[in-house]
Amino acid sequence: MVKGIGVDIVDVRRIKGLFEKWGEKFLDKVFSKGEREALQREKGVERLAGRFAAKEAFLKALGKGMFQIPLKEIEIIRGGKGEPRIVLSGNTAKLCEGLKVHVSISHEGNYAIAFVVLEDQA
């Protein structure tokens, strides 16, 4: 049964501006260590924007605001076939026990969009 749906679109130029203004401080606040390592390999602000959009879409699906859950507890990784996956940690993982998370990320021009569906596993 579907428990929540969230979608978010991000202007890549906005994320680029945040990174240029705040640098590592921005990355440390928003992305997990594993995400930062993956982003160094992948390069490109588009990847940052896509992951940021996925985190915000997840929060919308969960019905929580950005300041209620640390963004670092929502980790966007690549699955075995390159597909995006969300891995939760900390209190967010406890809050979402029993939920299956589906995520899709796409990029077009100056925009990244993400769609998240939360499904009850019971």
The Cα 111–Cα 15 span in angstroms is 10
Inter-residue contact 57 to 115 (CB < 8 Å): yes
- What pLDDT does residue 86 have? 97
Inter-residue contact 77 to 85 (CB < 8 Å): yes
The Cα 11–Cα 31 span in angstroms is 18
pLDDT tens digits, one per residue of 54-100? 999 999 999 987 788 999 999 999 999 999 999 999 999 999 999 99
Half-sphere exposure of 46 (CA within 13 A, CB side): 11
Q: Which residues pair with 114 in a beta bridge?
A: 8, 105
Domain 2-120, classified CATH 3.90.470.20, yes or no: yes
16's CB contacts (< 8 A; 6+ apart) are: 45
Question: What residues act catalytically?
Answer: 60, 107
- What pLDDT does residue 47 have? 86
